[in-house]
Amino acid sequence: MKFWQRAYLSILLLFILFFYSSIFLVSNFAYRTSLNSERERSFGEASFISASLGRDLSVSLQNDGDTSSDVYSFFRRYADFYKSQDIYLELWKNDFFLIGNIPDSPIKKYDTNSEEQKSIIVEYGSKKYLLVASSFLCDSDSYTLIYTHDLEGFTQEHNALSQFLMLSGAALAALLAVGLYFLLRRLSKPIENLDEATGCIADGDYSMRVPVHGKDEFAALARHFNSMADEIEGKIHELQTTAGQKQRFIDNLAHELRTPLTAIRGYAEYLKNANIDEDDKIASIDYIISEAVRIEEMTNKLLDLALLRNNVLETAEIDLPELFNAVSDKMRPKFSEKNITLETSCELSAITGDRVLLECLLNNLLDNAIKASDDGATVQLVALLENGETIINIRDFGRGMTEEHLNKLTEPFYRVDKARSRSEGGAGLGLALCEQIAELHKAKLTFSSEIEKGTMVKITFTTP
């Protein structure tokens, strides 16, 4: 289908859609406005009838002290009067039906105590009825008058108006269809010429260029088309990169929240179940607070990684031995679970970087070392200066892995042992995040491993 044909059908369909939508809205608004007016009038009449009936019953009670027989007499007087106006009445006493003249009983039971049913519209057969409830008291008895208005005449008027609007819309749509056809055939001629030229490019003749004539929008389109091919590839690559960064942010955030939340839960259960002294309670609460603060800081940093990846990382001098101690303290519960010994050695006094991200990096690498180690094993955390470069090594003496696995370790969601990783709660994102953090610090992650001898991760910082 040609462009002018699609434009013709689209504009025509949009016109019909919006026009008939407007008709529907206008008709619906008129219907609701009229119905609200009818409802207000019904409220007023129902209140008037119930008030008058209440006064009549009160007078009857004062005169002879008995209203039982007068109720039916008074009610029929009002019912006969309003019946000629397609208005019907029912009277309830203390939630029990007394008398009424509503045809065919459009309602079986009316909840006189429900606020939602003080004014409702019910359908019975092919007719609609507007029901209004109005209550009054007489001699300690609660009476409820059900005022019912037959809306058949009202509905017929609304249907007649709707039919008139629909026929008017059809006539206008036909006139628009004829005028629009001739207009679009004239305006689409330059686009047909452009289509012939682009067909040559689609067939592989990339030397073909669209001729530019004049200074209108079609001329601008021709100029932009000549440079479009070069731009498309760059834009697609940019979109893919942005989408990947956003997805990695979500994955990394979910992964990194697991560790502090686990620590918070562990210390909370410890506070709940263990019989400990006040000092231990304070220490446990301090850990919970520090992990909560860590979650907040981590979230902010991960947001920076996802949205401000091209900006310069804000760094500061970090006390490396103190960082090792902090990481050791926070990872101690996990080491204790498997009775693993953490050996630390720090030959350097300081390092430049972002403390929160570096702590996250070490936590992830140590967590992987724990998962790879057997009960009672040893894990080493070492910092040293090698050939003028700062080196941090994390070594375990666990299962090890093959060269094939080493080449895929930093791929998101990759697991060396999928069954074991799932049972230990791994999501396959920790090393992918570690690689990003290392790149931000201009550092390089290298892995070396031997089956049944363990794995060593080497972090080489190219800047002090």
- The answer to whether 448 and 456 are in contact (CB under 8 A) is yes
Query: Residue 268 half-sphere exposure, CB side, CA atoms within 13 Å?
Result: 10
First to last CA, the chain: 65
Helix (H, G, I), strand (E, B), or coil: what is residue 443? Answer: strand
Angle between helices 217-273 and 278-307 (to 10 degrees): 170
Does residue 427 register a pLDDT over 60? Answer: no
Instruction: Look up the pTM and report it.
Output: 0.40
Instruction: Report strand pairing: 443-450 vs 378-386.
Output: unpaired
Does residue 136 register a pLDDT over 70? Answer: yes
* CA–CA gap between residue 431 and residue 364 (Å, rounded): 7
The highest-confidence range among 101-115, 150-164, 235-249, 387-401, by mean pLDDT, is: 387-401
Mean pLDDT to the nearest integer, 197-203: 68
Look over the chain and give the mean of its residue pLDDT values, rounded to a whole number: 78
pLDDT of residue 307: 52
pLDDT of residue 283: 84
What is the dihedral sign for C-alpha 398, 403, 404, 406? positive
Does residue 383 register a pLDDT over 90? Answer: yes
Tokens 């610090």 sit on residue = 441
DSSP single-letter state for residue 312: P
pLDDT for 143-160, tens place per residue? Answer: 888 888 877 777 788 888
Beta partners for 150?
Answer: 129
Mean pLDDT to the nearest integer, 220-239: 69
What tokens does 245 get?
């960064």
Instruction: Give the number of residues written for the chain.
Output: 464
Does residue 324 register a pLDDT over 50? Answer: yes
Does residue 457 register a pLDDT over 90? Answer: yes
Which of 49, 143, 52, 137 minimizes the C-alpha distance to 98?
143
The highest-confidence range among 184-193, 205-214, 435-444, by mean pLDDT, is: 435-444
pLDDT for 240-265, tens place per residue? Answer: 777 775 676 576 667 667 777 887 88
Mean pLDDT to the nearest integer, 397-405: 84
User: For residues 371, 382, 404 and 335, what is the CA-based torsion angle, rounded to 10 degrees?
Assistant: 0
> What are the chain's domains?
3-158 (3.30.450), 314-464 (3.30.565.10)
Which of 358, 448, 347 minimizes the C-alpha distance to 395?
448
Long-range contacts of the stretch 178-181 (C-beta < 8 A, 24+): 180/8, 180/11, 180/12, 181/8
Q: How confident is the model at residue 393 (pLDDT cuts 50, 70, 90)?
A: very high
pLDDT of residue 318: 92
Tokens 């500061």 sit on residue = 316
pLDDT of residue 319: 93
Mean pLDDT to the nearest integer, 300-306: 59
326, with CB counted inside 10 A (0-12, 13-18, 19+), is middle
Considering only residues 50 and 123, tell me which one the structure prediction assigns the higher pLDDT: 50
Percent of the chain with pLDDT over 70: 77
Considering only residues 163 and 204, tell me which one the structure prediction assigns the higher pLDDT: 163
Which of 135, 130, 142, 152 minimizes the C-alpha distance to 51?
135
pLDDT of residue 112: 47
